[in-house]
Amino acid sequence: MQTAEIRRRWLEFFERNGHTVVPSASLVSNDPSLMFTVAGMVPFIPYLTAREPAPYPRATSVQKCLRTLDIEEVGKTSRHGTFFQMNGNFSFGDYFKEGAIGFAWELLTSSVEAGGYGLDPEKLWVTVYLDDDESAGLWKRLAGLPEERIQRRDKKDNYWHTGQPGPGGPCSEIYYDRGPAYGREGGPIADEDRYIEIWNLVFMQEMLGEVRSKVDFDVLGDLPAKNIDTGMGLERLACVLQGVDNMYEIDEVRPVLDRAAQLSGRRYGAVHADDVRLRVVADHVRSALMLIGDGITPSNEGPGYVLRRLIRRAVRAMRLLGVEDPCLPQLLPVSRDVMKLSYPELAAEFARISSVAYAEEEAFRRTLVQGTQIFDSTVRELKASGGSALSGERAFALHDTYGFPIDLTLEMASEAGVGVDEDGFRRLMAEQRDRAKADARAKRSGGVDVTVFRDALAKHGPTDWLAYTHLRTESRVLGLVSGGEGVAAAGPGEIVHAILDRTPFYAESGGQNADAGHLVWDGGRAEVLDVQRPVKSLVVHQVRVLDGELAVDTAVDAAVDAEWRLGACQAHSGTHVVHAALRDVLGPSALQSGSYNRPGYLRLDFSWTQALTPEQRADVERVSNEAVRNDLPVSARYMTLPQAQEFGALALFGETYGEQVRVVEVGGPWSRELCGGTHVAHSSQIGPLVLSGESSVGASVRRVEAIVGLEGYQYLARERDLVRQLADVLKTPREDVVGRVEAMVARLRDVEREIAKLRAGQVLAASSSLASSARDVFGVAYVGHDAGDASADDVRTLVLDVRGRMPADRPAVVAVTGVAKERPVVVIATNEEARRWGVKAGELVRAAAKVLGGGGGGKDDVAQGGGQDATKVPEALAAVEHAVGQRVTGAA
């Protein structure tokens, strides 16, 4: 049975049994404590923990998940992978143990013809918590399982909690016996390789207090409403139903592995090291496909860093298998073709997905060349200094600065006969991860402990949010928070977070800045500095008290700055217009991957692999302003996410959407996007739209910036004034300014070339005298010369000319320095006889560059370096002369 069919049967079974089918959330988690969605229950945590009321009593999903903690173990065992899918069914205070166990047994053992999975009941075992007699009894009564196939396990294996105070409860796991070929008899407690876990049923029934460890916690009592959270590993069940040994051999993964084996000429199953690499490739290519499909692009932090690492590990594994040519164009389409059965959007978006992946592979191929050169230089320096191991700092720099994988560093170090301080490297990596997680948490929560806001939501309920319809509301202060704790009041100058019962203020989201405005009350006034949603459904205002005292329960007039809101609406609607214009001009693969809007300004990041031409920029600006001139209607409507997808609405990749979504249209189908921002009523209200910039922000991602509204007019006015001033200075009509400037620049270049020729002539004039004044250094003719203010090209020309004038039958070394733009440069050349004596230009230039506070390198005959301190030029030339003597005499 194909994996896509297993998925379909799961959703249909639970839908028939009264469950709401919930689409998979993004791989990027909406939980500030998580980078990725690591389990099927993550999107349901607010409902399972009662932080938010569940919108349905029963739900089911097939959730995309990603775990990277054990990425180094991928391929080495059958248990470790990165991307996986988790089938789940959930009950929020509805059915409990009997329902969960009944559903699980029915689906697993019903015949294929009846819509089930058709597993042999005799091969199924279960585990229950030590004293969970109720579950054991249900397995006997509902499934007819004998006592010997119901095994008891302790808290370590069969009790679930989040690791924090909150809900917890025993769980019951279902195992499938793969037979004696996979291990010994005795059930899961004897051998979990033979008895493979396929489904875990969690019975949330207790409230936990202090949680000290997985097995050490306080139980405060029973939960008022009991919940069900189950998780079935889709890939694990596919292994069972497809009769394969591990997840790398199922139908959604094996084709990529087979194609990698074909490209490399290796046979899967022949050599363990090759098998590991082929599994890494198959796993990482699929994971990269899914991440890019969710809108992630490679970067040096957060989810983008993980994506970059996955792609580079896959490419590196292929190189170790002997494939030097680009491999992703051969592998990614294979993964698309097997995954599109479950995720059709992968095929529809493949042009964008592949452009991102292929660009990253090409960038890494260049990195490998550069990183190898740096690694070789580092090893040479290490050996020259008598060291035996690369420091953790050096290994981390190779990894962090040049993208060099640590496994590659380790392998090359072993080949070079040196070690690596892995502990130091891991420590630095851990510190970087901790900083990244802290930054992510701070960005998502505003650096404030959200516990107090969760308590406020539980006490007062959701904020009545009226930003779409109101600019002013009569509101009441429900709470004030300062330093993460509730306070009763705040005086002039104090900055606090205010929770209101209702608000017209837009909370920052979807790339749109929060509203500005004021809170006014009898005897006081506060400025609204920021508006956020630290927890879902609760709007919090950061305010600075200007006059009077703001106290809890105060009635306030909450007023948005109308000009600010208008500018924000113009910018956000302008973003939709620019996005549609980009797709008109460049094609449907130019999809938005991020945005930022504030009054008068917008920027939009989109998938594209190269800079826009001047013609393309002009076309995007023209199409955008035509849309403004045409006064297109702007409207918003609500619908379910599946309805919106059928409607053709574009979703911002990486965003998390609920069941009900808001679709914003500009001109009907011309621009139709999921969006929670504020907008103008007609496109003409956007005003002038001027593209002010276009740049790269990463592999396969470009950014356009634009000015809109009154700010757009002012931008054009400044441009007009600049042209007028230039025309006045040049004493030429405005329409002739460009031609006049071009002529001046051409004349200036001619003069600069003439000056360069004169300077080069002056430099070369010294060649003859320098060659004839060479010093004898233990038999080597040595020329050391400071050329003063001379460019690197002039210095190189002089060095080669002097070397050409030296006798060919005597070893000769020429070293010349110059200073260009206040930075010193040194070029060194040796003749053939000097190289026969063992004197190499590359070694000498490093000695000079070290004195100058820089670096350098090159070939044995000519090398170049530079530095930071021009005052050290005499010392650098002396260092070269000393190094020549050392090399010739063999002195240490």
- Give the pLDDT band of residue 447 (cuts 50, 70, 90): very low
Tens-digit pLDDT profile for residues 488-513: 999 999 999 999 999 999 999 888 99
> Which 3-state string (H, E, C) describes 353-410?
HHHHHHHHHHHHHHHHHHHHHHHHHHHHHHHHCCCCEECHHHHHHHHHHHCCCHHHHH
Residues making up the annotated binding site are 572, 576, 675, 679
Q: Which helix (H) or strand (E) holds 350?
A: helix 350-384
Q: pLDDT averaged over the chain?
A: 90
- Position 231 scores a pLDDT of 93
**Which amino acid type is present at position 270?**
A
Average pLDDT over residues 17-32: 87
Q: Around Cβ 559, how many Cβ atoms within 10 Å? A: 18
pLDDT of 441 strictly over 70? no
- Position 374 scores a pLDDT of 81
Joined tokens for residue 489: 């009041």
Tens-digit pLDDT profile for residues 123-149: 999 999 999 999 999 999 999 999 999
Place of tokens 């009950």: 91
Joined tokens for residue 758: 């004169």
- Give the pLDDT band of residue 652 (cuts 50, 70, 90): low
- Which phi and psi (to 5°) does residue 747 adopt? -65, -40
- Position 403 scores a pLDDT of 64
- Give strand ranges (E) for 67-165: 83-92, 124-129, 150-153, 159-161
Q: Around Cβ 69, how many Cβ atoms within 10 Å? A: 9
- Position 701 scores a pLDDT of 82
- Position 872 scores a pLDDT of 92
User: Cα dist. 475→130, 481, 486, 531, 556 in Å?
Assistant: 53, 17, 19, 15, 5
Q: How far apart are CA 410 and CA 375, in angstroms?
A: 11
- Give the pLDDT band of residue 122 (cuts 50, 70, 90): very high
Place of tokens 């003409």: 684
- Give the pLDDT band of residue 436 (cuts 50, 70, 90): low
- Give the pLDDT band of residue 79 (cuts 50, 70, 90): low
- Give the pLDDT band of residue 458 (cuts 50, 70, 90): confident
Closest CA to 234 of 17, 35, 43, 81: 81
pLDDT of 439 strictly over 50? yes
Q: Which is more confident, 75 or 538? A: 538
Residues making up the annotated binding site for Zn(2+) are 572, 576, 675, 679
- Position 748 scores a pLDDT of 92
Contact 740, 732 (CB under 8 A): yes
- Note every long-range contact of 829-832, with CB atoms under 8 Å and residues 24 or more positions apart, other chains counting: 829/799, 829/800, 829/802, 829/803, 829/861, 829/862, 830/803, 830/860, 830/861, 831/803, 831/806, 831/861, 832/808, 832/861
Q: How far apart are CA 821 and CA 790, in angstroms?
A: 9
- Give the pLDDT band of residue 107 (cuts 50, 70, 90): very high
Concatenating the DSSP letter of every residue in 567-579 gives HHHHHHHHHHHHH
- Give the pLDDT band of residue 396 (cuts 50, 70, 90): confident
- Give the pLDDT band of residue 594 (cuts 50, 70, 90): confident
Q: Which is more confident, 194 or 857? A: 194
pLDDT of 773 strictly over 70? yes
pLDDT of 445 strictly over 80? no
- Position 437 scores a pLDDT of 54
User: Cα dist. 394→195, 419, 462, 591 in Å?
Assistant: 45, 12, 51, 39
**Which amino acid type is present at position 766?**
A
- Least confident window among 275-289, 372-386, 771-785: 372-386
Helix, strand, coil % over all residues of the chain, rounded to 5: 45, 25, 30
Contact 165, 210 (CB under 8 A): yes
Q: Which is more confident, 10 or 306? A: 10
Q: Which is more confident, 655 or 309? A: 309
- Give the pLDDT band of residue 446 (cuts 50, 70, 90): very low
pLDDT of 277 strictly over 90? yes
- Position 47 scores a pLDDT of 85
pLDDT of 438 strictly over 70? no
pLDDT of 5 strictly over 60? yes
pLDDT of 854 strictly over 70? yes
Q: Which is more confident, 205 or 760? A: 205
- Position 656 scores a pLDDT of 59
- Least confident window among 434-448, 489-503, 522-536, 813-827: 434-448
The per-residue b/e assignment along 665-700, b for 16 or more CB within 10 angstroms, e otherwise, is bbbeebbbbbbbbbbbebbebbbbbbbbebeeebbb
Write the DSSP symbol of residue 340: T
